[in-house]
Chain A
Amino acid sequence: MLEVKNVSKIYGEGTAKVVALNNISLLVNEGDFIAIMGPSGSGKSTLLNIIGGLDHISSGEVILDGQRIDSLDENALVDVRRGKIAYVFQQYHLIPSLTALENVLLPLTFCGANNGSQKALDILKRVGLGKRAEHKPSQLSGGEQQRVAIARALVNDPSLILADEPTGNMDRKTGREILALFGQLNGEGRSIVMVTHDPEIAGHAKEVVVLQDGQIVDKISQKGGNKC
């Protein structure tokens, strides 16, 4: 489904040069649930951004469903973001002036689909927020905001969900609920790549990739993934 081949990412030049990723290779198959772990500054978020086409690489290849996306222009990358890949961020990144329903509708708005309200509402119901659809982010708790962000990610029916520290701003109980939701989505066949620095959170994934100084130092398969 997605293959990262010998990818390096270097910021700056000369003495200011920083190697964020160094010759990384990673394979994400359909139905995978991969946790990328590592200490702060190890390159986790950079790798996630590159997988999603949000950042450019210095060398290597990123192949999604047989198509190289690292060399795509901005317009072609927009199509990738609108269909196959969706993001869930640690800070939720909801638009404060919009209601929960409108935030979920955003990806459909950009796709030009004007009649997606029922679909968005159904997804909100699915994440347990059917009754909070007309609330603005400021009126929702952290866990609820993250559920809205997940609903927004799901509205375009993506096959790959990229999540950057999705439970980072939550207490353990709420974090577990969010991870349970990811487990369900993974159970439906969606692939999930999740960045975390917390081994307990990573324990919910089927595979853990450990990064250090921009390099993969370990890959651990976990048969007991998706535990709730």
Chain B
Amino acid sequence: MKLYQLVVKDIMRRKRRVLYASLGVVIGITTIIAVLTIALAGQTNIYDQLEKYGANLMVMPAISDIDIGLGGLSLGTLAVGENYISEDKLPGIRQIADGMIREALNIEDEGDIVTIAPKLYVNTRVNGTSLIVVGVDPREERLLKTWWKVSQGNYLEAPDEVLVGAVAAELLKLNVGDAIILNGGEATIAGILEETGSNEDYQIFVPLETAQKAFGKEGLVSSIDIRALCNACPTSDIASAINENMAGVRAVAVTQIAETEMGMLEKVSRFLFALAAITLAVGCFGVVNTMTTSVHERIKDIGILKAVGASRNQIMKIFFYEAIIIGVAGGLLGYVAGTLLAYIVGPLIFGGVAVTYAPQYFLPSLALAALIAVIASVYPASRASRIKVADSFRSL
């Protein structure tokens, strides 16, 4: 018989008492797991949105808003600046982006590194319905939108072809091979995109040059998306360099947008995590209390064990094993309860975002719970180990 078997057998006799002892740990772990799972769902949601966007950098026309007022009365804002970016700026932007990545990652290859996808957005009417036509560079756009799938027909191959978003095709009853009129010019539907769940479902994509000619915007684009496929790419630095060196454009690293959102999420998570830690600390005192009571109740048993040869270390081990069992049981219950709580509360916080089960927190939560229980049992175990056999029998 091993020492832990002795503990397990003893615990089986006192199941309710052990469950009660683990209650503090259960509440603490429940709170921590709920906070972590909800925070993870929020983070995943933000990352998913970023991943859907595809680009690391956005370049837009530099437009400033000026407040217009009359005396103390505000009359709103006025946008000042160009609404388009000249296509001439594309090589300069590529030079800055590729150059900085080459420098940062010590790349010697002279070929293109980043994907630069210019876009021209035009609000127009197609078959009597108002929608957005997007002029794109077909090759670059395909590299950027890795998640695009053509459900019917083909991708853009010829200048007079268009690609239609899933919802737009359904609303306008468009099929592959149909002809549509874009501001007087005719184009053929080459393919229909699979639904993506984003604005793209409502848009029509045409080759950039075709859009520019059809809508009289030759040499102009509305925005430029840049995708650098590396985690270490200095996107914020590239954005700063573009802003410094290129007039009339404003570059923003997508991570900067994400960081703002993440920052908020992190602040809220940290606050909740602190609350959860306090709950766990209180739970820890609960374990100390229950274990100390348990020592008092088991003075006789401890005396017997010592009388038949148990050493102080072995008595302490018995209590530590018991604490580990209490901790693991508490961690297990806490993990399940925390996940359930996250499932209920998560969608309320993130507006319907589905919270997913976080298996990566399972073992750490058990380990944390066991550690807390062991720490909480140091004092009671030490007290138990100091009990004198003769005293324990006198107390009967």
Question: Which residues in A have some Cβ–Cβ distance to B below 8 Å?
Answer: 46, 49, 54-55, 74-75, 78, 81-82, 86-87, 89, 91, 93-98, 102, 105-111, 114, 152, 156
Distance in angstroms between the alpha carbons of A87 and B307 in the assembled complex = 7
B10 contacts A82, CB within 8 Å?
no
- Are A109 and B307 in touch, CB under 8 angstroms? no
A114 to B6, CA, bound (A): 13
Q: Are B309 and A82 in contact (CB under 8 A)?
A: yes
Min CB gap B19→A, angstroms: 17
Query: Using an 8 Å CB-CB cutoff, how does the interface string of B286-325 with A read, 1 for contact, 0 for none?
Result: 0000000000000011011111111110100000000000
- Asked whether A93 lies within 8 Å of B2 as measured between CB atoms, the reply is no
Is there contact, CB below 8 Å, between A105 and B309? no
Q: Evaluate whether A78 and B311 lie within 8 angstroms (CB atoms) in the complex, with A93-B304, A102-B1 already known.
A: yes
CA distance A102 to B9 in the complex (A): 11
Map CB proximity to A onto B376-389 as digits: 1 under 8 Å, 0 otherwise: 00000000000011
Q: Is the pair A75, B311 in contact by a Cβ cutoff of 8 Å?
A: yes
Bound-state CA distance A100–B158 (Å) is 90
Chain B residues 44 to 85 lying within 8 A of chain A, measured CB to CB, are none
Tell whether, in the assembled complex, residue B3 and residue A97 are in contact, meaning their CB atoms are under 8 Å apart. Answer: no
* Per-residue contact bits, chain B 1-41, to A (CB 8 Å; 1 contact, 0 not): 11100100110110000000000000000000000000000
Could you give 22 example pairs across A and B, Cβ below 8 Å? A46-B390, A49-B389, A55-B390, A78-B311, A81-B306, A86-B308, A87-B307, A91-B396, A93-B303, A95-B305, A97-B10, A97-B13, A98-B6, A102-B1, A102-B6, A106-B6, A106-B308, A107-B308, A107-B309, A114-B1, A114-B2, A152-B308
In the complex the two chains form, what is the Cα distance from A94 to B303 in whole Å? 11
* B194 CB, min distance to chain A CBs, angstroms: 63
A9 to chain B, nearest CB (A): 10
Q: What chain A residues lie within 8 Å of B300 (beta carbons)?
A: 93
Evaluate contact between A81 and B308: CB separation under 8 angstroms: yes
* A-side contacts of B3, CB under 8 Å: 109
User: How many residues belonging to B are interface residues under a CB distance threshold of 8 Å?
Assistant: 26
Contacts of B12 in A (CB 8 A): 97
Contacts A55-B388, A109-B2; is A98 near B305 (CB within 8 Å)? no
Chain B residue numbers with a CB within 8 Å of A75 are 311-312
Q: Are B308 and A110 within 8 A (Cβ)?
A: yes
Residues of B within 8 A of A105 (CB): 1
Within 8 A of A (CB), among B115-148: none
Q: Specify the chain B residue showing the minimal Cβ separation from A45.
A: B393
**Bound CA–CA A98/B13 (angstroms):** 10
**A55-B390, A102-B1 known; A110 and B309 CB under 8 Å?**
yes
Q: How far is the CA of A28 from the CA of B309 in the complex (A)?
A: 22
Taking CB atoms, residues of chain A closer than 8 Å to B393 are: 49, 54, 89
**Distance between Cα atoms of A86 and B307 in the complex (Å):** 8
Among B300, B312, B393, which residue has the most Cβ atoms of chain A within 10 A?
A: B393
CA distance A30 to B2 in the complex (A): 34
Q: Are A78 and B309 in contact, with the CB atoms below 8 A?
A: yes
**Chain A positions within 8 Å of B389 at CB level:** 49, 54-55
Closest to A113 in B: B1
Contacting residues, chain B, for A94 (C-beta < 8 A):
304
* Chain A residue nearest to B301 in the complex (CB): A95
A146 to B308, CA, bound (A): 15
Q: How far is the CA of A109 from the CA of B309 in the complex (A)?
A: 9
Q: Which residue of A lies closest to B314 (CB)?
A: A110
Distance in angstroms between the alpha carbons of A95 and B302 in the assembled complex: 10
Tell me how far the C-beta of B298 lies from the nearest C-beta in chain A, rounded to whole angstroms.
Answer: 10
Find the A residue at minimum CB distance from B312: A74
> B10–A110 contact, CB under 8 A?
no
Query: What 5 additional pairs, Cβ within 8 angstroms, besides A106-B308, A110-B310?
Result: A54-B307, A55-B389, A94-B304, A106-B309, A107-B309
A98 to B303 alpha-carbon distance, docked (Å):
16
